[in-house]
Each structure stands twice: as structure tokens, then as C-alpha cells.
Copies of this chain bind each other. A is one copy, B any other.
Amino acid sequence: MAAHDKVTITDIARRAGVSVPTVSRVVNGRSDVSPQTRARVEELLREHGYRKRPATASATRAALLDLVFNDLDSPWAVEIIRGVEEVAHAAGVGTVVSAIHGRSGDAREWMRNLRARASDGVILVTSALEPTLHEQLRILGVPLVVVDPTGSPAADTPTIGAANWSGGLAATEHLLSLGHRRIALIAGPPRLLCSRARYDGYRAALEAAGLSVDETLVVPGDFHPESGFAGCTALLDLPDPPTALFAASDQMALGAIEALRRRGLRVPEDMSVVGFDDLPEVRWSSPPLTTVRQPLADMGKLAARTVLALTHGARPDTPRVELGTELVVRASTAPPA
């Protein structure tokens, strides 16, 4: 932005017809402003592309970046933390890990803390941050990178994902190549882009093999093991059950394997199972799981590199990056009986 474009708090105050301290309170996210005034001031801040000047604090204390999860109960959270921490640590930057639990109160409190610790950048992991908080980050001038976006992030927010469509394709092609024709899908939540991409990859592989999707073989899931258990149980109750299934997450694959064990069925002899994620634990599931590897730690590393570059004023080459996925064949898949 050229110097003559720079809009100051004084300009905004004049246009909004309020005092400079009032605008300052909005910029700093304080609560002692009426909702109407806040809305008017925020609208003007947005319209004029106001950016808070970089905090002078950054010259006097070590850099920090904030890594924000919706919840910390995901088994892959630690993989992403590991990748981010490795890059940040090497750069002398501390990684502040938070969970905001999808609750707006927690998110607001996190935003207050972020401001108080003058964090230099934010990496958001599959969290749907409210648009107003996105806007606050923009006003604060704190760079944001989103990992594995679940929705459609703003066009100017760099996002890092995995090649979900290719992964769904590879999982299904593997089962086809073993000779399976009745291949079920335990899908992820349809509101998430990654679920839709995995489903489309599954369909594309079937269609390339001259098959079409049998909708009775597609059951819904939410990525958690319970839904894999329930989905597999429903598939086994069909008059003509599948001989193989692709679960759109490793955790659902583990739930499916347990459903099969309860029925006295063996994996892969009675049913082949492919997962998605390659969590460390599935190397030691019983049997070890054939799955699609998402490079979670690498996604964390790239997110950290991108946000650190943004804090130094660089722009990413492409706003959206997908890292490759890879089929890992272990012991849970075999030709049909």
C-alpha cells in the first residue's frame, strides 16, 4: 500500500463521527463499545483497508506464532504440532498451542490473549473461525495461514491441504486392482471439502473401471471411530454386503475393523479395509492398516514456513497448496475370497 493510501485511526474517527479513543477501542477488540458503533467503525476499517502498525514489541521480545485447533482431542493434532514446532524452533520462534472448542467465547478470549502477547502470526487448523475474528486478525495485521481447510476460506488467506481427491482415487484403485467390485465407502461429513474430494476420488476410480457408484454402499460418517463401527455394521446387514471398504479416515477404519471382529469376520480374509490419514497408531492396528498417507507433519512445516515468510512481508507464490497423498499398503487388504 502506497503512503498516500494509509488510513489512520483519526481518519476513521472523523468518517464515523466518533472519538479517536472509540476507534482505538474497536481496533483493540475491547468490549466497551456499543454494537452499533462497533459495526459502523468495523465497516469503515474494512472499507479503507486499515492495518494496525506492526507492534514495536517485536523488536524487544522473541517472536511467537499461534497454532490454533478447534479441539486437541484429534490424534493427528500432535503430528501437525510436531511439524510446526520443528520449523518455528529452528527460527527461534515459540509455538503457542491453543484450542478454541468452536465456542465463540473461547475464540474471543483467545483473540484477546493473542493481542496481549503480540503474536506474530497465526496457523489455524480445520477451525471455522468466525468471520468477525478473521476480520480482527486482518485489522491487527497478523498474518494467517489455514491448514486443511474445511470450508471455503477467504481468497487472500493462504491455505495448505492434502490431495484428498487423489487419495480417494488411489485407495479405490488399489481395491479394484485386487479384484474387488463391490467396494463400500464410509464417507466423511459432507459439509467438509476434504470429505467431498475423497468421495469424488472414490467415484472417479469406480467410473474409470467401468463401474458406477452403488449408493447403498455409501454410508455416512463423521471421521470418528464410532461412526466407522456403525457404518460397517450397516453395510454387513445389507442383503449383498461389499467385499471391501474404504473409510475416509483411519479412525473410522479402526471402528469398522472392530465391527467386523465382533461379527467373527476377519480382515482382510472376509473384508478388505483401507483408511485415510496414516496416523502413527495404524502401523500397529490388528491387522496393520492399508491407508492413504496425509503428510500432516509436512503440512505443519509448510504452514509455519509460510506464516513466518508473511511476517517478514513476503507473499506466498500460490495462495492454495495441496501436498501429495500416498497409498501405504499394509495387511488389511487382499483379493476377495
Contact = CB atoms under 8 A, between A and B. Distances in A.
26 contacts: A61-B118, A62-B113, A64-B64, A64-B96, A73-B78, A73-B82, A77-B78, A78-B78, A78-B81, A81-B81, A82-B99, A85-B97, A85-B98, A86-B99, A89-B99, A89-B106, A89-B109, A93-B113, A94-B117, A97-B97, A254-B281, A254-B284, A254-B285, A254-B286, A255-B284, A261-B287
Q: Ordered nearest first, which 7 A-B pairs have the shortest CB separation?
A: A62-B116, A62-B117, A72-B82, A94-B96, A225-B284, A78-B78, A254-B284
A100 B230 CA distance: 41
A92 interface: yes
A57 interface: yes
A148 interface: no
Given A109-B89, A258-B287, A97 B116 contact: no
A270 to B, nearest CB: 13
A197 B77 CA distance: 31
Number of this chain's copies in the assembly equals: 2
Chain A: number of interface residues, binned into ranges: 35 or more
Interface string A100-125: 00000010011011001111000000
Contact of A73 (B62, B75, B112, B280): B280
Given A61-B57, A77-B78, A286-B257, A109 B85 contact: no
Given A89-B109, A92-B109, A95-B98, 8 more contacts: A64-B64, A92-B116, A94-B98, A96-B97, A257-B286, A258-B288, A261-B286, A279-B281
Give the residue among A97, A110, A116, A284 with the most B Cβ atoms within 10 A: A284
A293 interface: no
A72 B85 contact: yes
Contacts of A99: 82, 85-86, 89
A280 B96 contact: no
Contacts of A64: 64, 94, 96, 117
Contacts of A254: 281, 284-286
A283 interface: yes
Interface of A: 57, 60-62, 64, 66, 72-75, 77-78, 81-82, 85-86, 89, 92-99, 106, 109-110, 112-113, 116-119, 225, 251, 254-255, 257-258, 261, 279-281, 283-288
Nearest to A78: B78
A225 B285 CA distance: 10
A230 B183 CA distance: 35
Given A61-B117, A106-B89, A225-B283, A96 B95 contact: yes
Given A97-B85, A117-B61, A286-B257, A75 B280 contact: yes
Contacts of A285: 254, 285-286
A97 B98 contact: no
Contacts of A109: 89, 92
Contact of A281 (B75, B89, B287): B75
Contact of A89 (B73, B110, B284): B110
Nearest to A76: B78
